[in-house]
Structure 1
Amino acid sequence: SNINFFKVEDLRTVRSGVVYHFKVIHARLSYQLFRCPHCGFPSLIKNGTTLTKLRLTTLNGPMILLYLRKQRYFCKSCQTTYGAKTPIVEKNHSLTRGLKSAVFKLAKQSLPVTTIAKIVGISASSVERILYHDFQRPQRLAKLPEHLCFDEFKSVAKLYSFIALNAKSHNLISILDDRLSKNICAYFENRYSLNERLKVKSVVIDLNANYQIFIKRLFPNAQIVIDRFHIIQLVNRAFDQLRVTTLKQLNDKHSR
């Protein structure tokens, strides 16, 4: 309510030979302050403005910038300066809350970071910072689930990481930087007691033989369950291999 808009411009810029079109909204943020937020005395005076360039929400359209001139205040009593604030953006940030909200909505649809960046018109690194700003890996859970899922995934370049999930809720239990058996065993043994690990009833895995070795060590009472997807995949590969072998044994290559 304290932002006054002046004009809207259509501009363009050239980066690496590519022409980008964007809109610029010129506005001013100012309101009356009577007391200093620091000392509380009624000794504030206006002290010019500062220009901030904010990114507004856009979906597959031209980039929209808000050139917002924020009012500055000076306290003659405590000699401190103070800037006008607005709820559309956090302090010292250039990406507005609406744009960050759009990133979260697209991420809920399981879109890749690069795709989200192209849709909203920001860099992939900015999308990652928004999504993982307050993310912390859980050190341990208050209660270890009775049913677990173990698997690995390609995380960086050709390196694989280990991931453990709750088999029923699919909530994250842990992500380890590698899939070495000694590190996986050390993680669970250092964080969960034997009594806690004895309560685990099942662990769902793929056909990785290494997992079967240390699962019995970590969870003595757990039943090892092979994921049905890998069973079907194994059967399909066997049929395909038999088909190719049979095809090579045929003498008449032109017969249907």
Structure 2
Amino acid sequence: MFSSNSISNILGIGDKNLVLTGKEIFETIKSVKYCVLNAILTYEPSHCPHCNSNKEGHNIVKNGSQMVKIIFNRAGNNPILLRVKKQRFYCKSCKKTFMAKTSLTSKGCFISNDVKRSIIGDLCEFKSIKLISKEHYVSSSTVNRVLRSTEVTNRKHHLPEVLGIDVPTGH
């Protein structure tokens, strides 16, 4: 029997606040058989991200949780789906809520950063976008979005101080 720690190491989960719970189950979602792992993400926040008030006394309290799904790379033939119970917090100073954060995904995204890096690696090879999306169990538009995220944005939104214009001379 593997421990939660060893499974985290195998999957490359470096977040110490994420604890795997229970056994893995196999579940078919949209005709794809996923290996589903359950996890809990919780910690004691040091400050509120909205008002920056410190956690002095009972300013920030736990306020329930929300279930999110995170897509991971494959292990064998089955893709891995991490079902995470994320802790919600309530700040009494600004009266706003926020969720526990993890380094596995970007904010508001359910595709892990490892999957995005793997997609970028596949984009460097001679593969179609449709094949890459099929291999990573994501949509073609997700692959396009990952491709666009690698672009360097050096666009200037203003005219330069000096504008050189050549006027043709007529003969």
Find 1:104's aligned residue among 112, 120, 123: 120
Q: Residue 11 of structure 1: CA displacement?
A: 1.1
1:88 lines up with 2:104 in the alignment:
yes
- Match status 1:2 vs 2:21: no
Partner Cα separation in structure 1 for residue 146 and residue 91 of structure 2: 35
1:40 aligns with 2:53: yes
Question: 90, 113, 117: which one pairs with 1:74?
Answer: 90
SS of 1:57's equivalent?
strand
Q: Go from structure 1 to structure 2 and tell me whether the alpha carbon gap of 1:137 and 1:32 turns closer, same or farther (over 3 Å shift).
A: closer
Distance 1:139 1:35, change over 3 A: closer
Q: Which amino acid aligns with 1:5?
A: L
Residue aligned with 1:88, SS: coil
1:106 corresponds to which letter in structure 2? D
Larger helix percent: 1
Deviation at 1:60, TM superposition (A): 7.5
Q: 1:70 to 1:192 in 2, by over 3 A?
A: farther
- Seen in structure 2, the aligned counterparts of structure 1 residues 117 and 34 have a Cα distance that, compared at 3 Å, is closer
Percent identity between matched residues is 24
> In structure 1, how many angstroms separate the alpha carbons of the residues matched to 2:154 and 2:90?
45
1:164-222 Cα distance to aligned partner (Å, 9 max, x none):
xxxxxxxxxxxxxxxxxxxxxxxxxxx9966xxxxxxxxxxxxxxxxxxxxxxxxxxxx
Structure with the larger RCO, 1 or 2 (CA within 8 Å, 6+ apart): 2
2:44 matches 1:28: no
Match of 2:144, SS? helix
1:117 equivalent in structure 2: 133
Inter-partner Cα distance in structure 2 for 1:73 and 1:137: 35
RMSD after superposition: 2.7
Once the two structures are superposed, residues 54-97 of structure 1 have per-residue CA deviations (whole angstroms, 9 ceiling, x without a partner) of: 11112772221111111111111221112111111000011110
CA distance 1:39–1:29, change in 2 (3 Å): same
Counterpart Cα distance in 1 of 2:25 and 2:67 = 17
Instruction: State the TM-score, normalized to the length of structure 2.
Output: 0.72
CA positional deviation for 1:39:
3.8
Contact kept in structure 2, 1:39 and 1:78, CA below 8 Å = no
State the one-letter code of the partner of 1:62.
N
The residue that corresponds to 1:202 in the other structure is none
Q: 1:53, 1:136 → 2: CA distance?
A: 30
Deviation, 1:137, is: 8.2
Is the 2:53–2:93 contact (alpha carbons within 8 Å) kept by the matching residues of 1?
A: no
Q: Structure 2: which 5+ runs fail to align? A: 1-15, 157-162, 167-171
Cα contact 1:59–1:121 (8 A) shared by 2 = no
TM-score normalised to the size of structure 1? 0.49
Aligned mates of 1:103, 1:192 — CA distance in 2: 43
Aligned mates of 2:151, 2:26 — CA distance in 1: 38
**SS at the partner of 2:94?**
coil
Distance of 2:94 and 2:27 partners within structure 1: 43
Question: Which amino acid in structure 1 is aligned with residue 151 of structure 2?
Answer: F
Between the two proteins, the alignment pairs up a number of residues equal to 141
AA paired with 1:66? L
Distance 1:118 1:65 in 2: 16
- On the 8 A contact 1:47/1:72 being kept in 2, the answer is yes
Q: CA contact under 8 A between 1:60 and 1:121: conserved in structure 2?
A: no
